[in-house]
Chains A and B, each alone.
Chain A
Amino acid sequence: MKKHSVKVSLSDSQPFQAGATNRRQFIKLGGASLAIGGLLLAGCEDDDEMTPTNPTDPDEDTVFDLGSGDVGVLNYAYALEQLEADFYTRVFNNFYTGITAEEQQVLTDLYYHEVIHREFFKTAITAAVSDSSLVLPELEFDYGDLDFSNRDAVLATAKALEDTGVAAYNGAGRLLSNPDYLLIAGKIVSVEARHAAAIRSLINPDSDDFAGDDVVDPTNGLDVALSPADILPIAGGFITTEFTANNLPTS
């Protein structure tokens, strides 16, 4: 099995209790794609063995840590935007056969938006920190056996990524202390939600899936919100560059 790339601090075991349930929820979210499902499950297995970062690990000095405070949260968002941008770049550079004009328009726009988000975070974090070694480096990705020539696989992965992005930003908003950063995150998350709805309506146009009961709780009308401890093992299934998230704010 591929080495798991993301380690999350276990200093507070509580989020992980909650996380187990939420991850199952996300496996359901990504369930349309076997490729994603497999990676998520692999991530869950890994969780069971997850231990606090070993201080004697020889790699420890070279592994990037997202950092603490607002910078840590921004690096976290940057990691997710890097993932989305990389995915849509691959989709855009080699559209699946039989793609409709509407699908091509939507996927092109998503490629544009996510690359813009990625470049924005790179610039903004660099400007916010005095030391460029605090900026998350360019990550590398591996989509396993995901078939980019297959419409259903591509759209299912896009759906999982967008829904995950929404849940991640919704969960991370409270971790920010600077209102300017919160506003920026708010400006981005609603666009991610617009993406999620569009992808969902491409997959299932004549339905209420754009805001389906699997993501919007019908009893209170609330979308999903998940903490970094829940999101990173999911996103980590695609990320091959190792980094740690040991100092992110947790509340």
Chain B
Amino acid sequence: MNIIRFLDHFTSDELSSQQEKGSILSRRQAFNQLGGLSKKLAMSAVPLGAAMFSSKKVMAQSMNSPVQALQLALTLEYLEDEFYRLALESGVVPAGTRAEKVYMQIARHEKAHVDFLIAGLGENVVDKPTFDFTVGGAFDPFNENGIGQETAYAQLLALAQAFEDTGVRAYKGQAANLMSAPDLLTAALQIHSVEARHASEIRRLRGLKGWIVQNNRGEGMPEATQGVYDGEEVTNQAGYDTTMEFGADAGTEAYDEPMSGETAVAIASLFIVS
């Protein structure tokens, strides 16, 4: 599947309000191999794409095009893909265990997501960042610095949970940005639910419920991961009080909340060196 081909299926009618400015003519020419709609999307994506990966700083730009949404998705998938690959290579995940089977299956999916998004983004692909899963030495999930197998394993599971729960929230936060491209939206939803399956299983491996209770990060999660869960405690859904039937825990568990692109980038940036 090719995302640019997806984009070309759609007329530019929906985007007619986003009129191009004369000043970006040269950039338009640079993208003239793309279809009319994808050209516009590509142009709006460039500043963020360049900026997002130039530093660890939190980006303030709003993300509002399908290409931008997918570039964010690809960055998160790069992170997850490398994390699970290194985890399996590290020997920290005990061989022959349920955890190893789980990590191997998730690793396969994250690799497939990276390949899918790279193929789809084509010209608009963003480079893979350089990651540091120790966050400057705060963690040692692959037991590279001698923290010990047991602690490394606990950190490795905790990071997986944080990444998967972030993935679920980040994809959800981008859904509206993909409405102009229904095929892309469907593909993103199909990845989104896979991340949710992963999150559920990783959480259960850690002895937690598969779903998020209030804004609790869960036992054993470092405080640094609280940003993944802030905002999950919502109990009002379109005017409906979700606590009415069974209380606030169940009411918040029954809905996952979106995460803004800015927050997702900020979380990912913790693990990005350059």
A residues near B (Cβ < 8 Å) are 105-106, 109, 112-113, 115-117, 119-120, 123-124, 127, 166, 169-171, 173-174, 177, 179-180, 182-184, 186-198, 201, 205-208, 210-211, 216, 218-225, 251
Interface pair A180/B200, CB less than 8 Å apart = no
Chain B 172-208 interface 0/1 with A at a Cβ cutoff of 8 Å (1 = within): 1001100100110111011111111111110010000
Q: Which residue of B186, B195, B257 is within 8 Å of A225 (Cβ)? A: B186
Interface pair A221/B102, CB less than 8 Å apart = no
Evaluate whether A197 and B104 lie within 8 angstroms (CB atoms) in the complex, with A109-B250, A113-B250 already known: no
Evaluate whether A173 and B186 lie within 8 angstroms (CB atoms) in the complex, with A187-B237, A211-B198 already known: yes
Check B268 for interface membership: any CB of A closer than 8 A: no
Chain B 40-84 interface 0/1 with A at a Cβ cutoff of 8 Å (1 = within): 000000000000000000000000000000000000000000000
Chain A residues within an 8 Å CB radius of B175: 173, 179, 182-183, 186
Evaluate whether A218 and B253 lie within 8 angstroms (CB atoms) in the complex, with A190-B168, A193-B197 already known: no
Check B138 for interface membership: any CB of A closer than 8 A: no
Interface pair A166/B256, CB less than 8 Å apart = no
Q: How far is the CA of A188 from the CA of B102 in the complex (A)?
A: 24
Interface pair B238/A191, CB less than 8 Å apart = no
Q: How far is the CA of A113 from the CA of B243 in the complex (A)?
A: 11
Interface pair B200/A194, CB less than 8 Å apart = yes
Interface pair A205/B194, CB less than 8 Å apart = no
Chain A residues within an 8 Å CB radius of B198: 197, 210-211
B residues near A (Cβ < 8 Å) are 1, 98, 101-102, 104-106, 108-113, 115-116, 168, 172, 175-176, 179, 182-183, 185-187, 189-201, 204, 209-211, 237-240, 242, 244-246, 250-251, 253-258
Evaluate whether A190 and B237 lie within 8 angstroms (CB atoms) in the complex, with A112-B246, A201-B201, A251-B182 already known: no
Evaluate whether A197 and B210 lie within 8 angstroms (CB atoms) in the complex, with A218-B108, A218-B112 already known: yes
Interchain nearest-CB distance for A171 vs B (Å): 7
Q: Which residue of A109, A183, A194, A205 is within 8 Å of B197 (Cβ)? A: A194
Q: How far is the CA of A189 from the CA of B172 in the complex (A)?
A: 10
Interface pair B242/A120, CB less than 8 Å apart = yes
Interface pair A222/B194, CB less than 8 Å apart = yes
Q: How far is the CA of A34 from the CA of B136 in the complex (A)?
A: 54
Interface pair A216/B251, CB less than 8 Å apart = no
Chain A residues within an 8 Å CB radius of B255: 187-188, 191
Instruction: Return 24 A-B CB contacts under 8 Å, by A number.
Output: A112-B250, A116-B245, A116-B251, A170-B186, A170-B190, A171-B186, A183-B172, A189-B189, A194-B210, A195-B210, A196-B197, A198-B204, A201-B201, A207-B101, A208-B102, A210-B102, A211-B198, A216-B197, A218-B112, A220-B116, A221-B108, A221-B109, A221-B191, A225-B190
